[in-house]
Amino acid sequence: MTLDGMRTLDLTGRVALVSGASRGIGYAIAATLLARGATVTITARKPDELVAAADELASTVKAGADRVLAVPGHAGDAAARAAAVDRTVECFGSLDVLVNNTGINPVYGPLMQADLGAVRKIFDVNVVAALGFVQQAHRAWMGEHGGAVVNIASVAGLRSTGAIAAYGMSKAAMIRLTEELAWELGPSIRVNAVAPAVVKTRFSTALYAHDEEQVAKAYPMGRLGTPTDVAALVAFLVSDAACWITGETVRVDGGLLATGPPR
């Protein structure tokens, strides 16, 4: 018996766009894709931080500045999304991989006290902007040539938390969006999501900084996640090794949801 083509994790020749990539999970995803051979565009709101991240990526991964492009802009701005996609295709000649990583969470606590304006903003950035990026990538390249999309969701979109309810609602919507897009865009475009639990980044500090050791005890793996834990899964999902996987939301949670709600 022979294996079917020994499908590879190598991404040489692929061009990727990663949103929210100046730090944290997005930065780790960009670094991992570069290390696997891809060329990468990164986006984020703050130009100085983004350019610094691009320089660091080119140096750390030894990718060379010609394989890393920084396009600053707010994910919620349609013009900024278009600029990121269009410049990627102009500079690198294609857009094979899109990673929707940008996410915000300005609202904590119960929904009955939630500011509705803030909730709208969460959905606009976490869900509507992700769809906007897919639409733009589809028009610019993927519609004719195919590709792979990964949306960064959350275990909060799978189980209620109480603490980050509005954010969880938006991530549940992103999971549903992933399924709809997989159905609509297949077979040439695969669309999947990953659902991390608490990952040690500046974004999630409020969820664990008060007592990291105690929070980690809820995880069968005995620790919180790292950005590279998420990045490794994303790199797999956009590779040929995952060529028959679409419409899935894959948990990367250290076993947390096997034990109960992510509290």
Dist. CA 156–CA 212, nearest whole Å: 18
Rg of the chain on CA atoms, in Å: 18
Query: Which pair of structure tokens corresponds to residue 74?
Result: 């707010």
Instruction: Decide: residue 52, CB within 10 A, 0-12 exposed, 13-18 middle, 19+ buried.
Output: middle
∠ CA 225-228-234, nearest 5°, is 105
Q: What share of the chain is helix, strand, coil (3-state, %, to 5)?
A: 50, 15, 40
Query: Which pair of structure tokens corresponds to residue 64?
Result: 């060379």
Dist. CA 106–CA 156, nearest whole Å: 15
Q: Which residue in the list 27, 108, 167, 208 is annotated as catalytic?
A: 167
Is residue 167 flagged as an active site residue? Answer: yes
Instruction: Decide: residue 144, CB within 10 A, 0-12 exposed, 13-18 middle, 19+ buried.
Output: exposed
Q: Which residues are catalytic?
A: 167
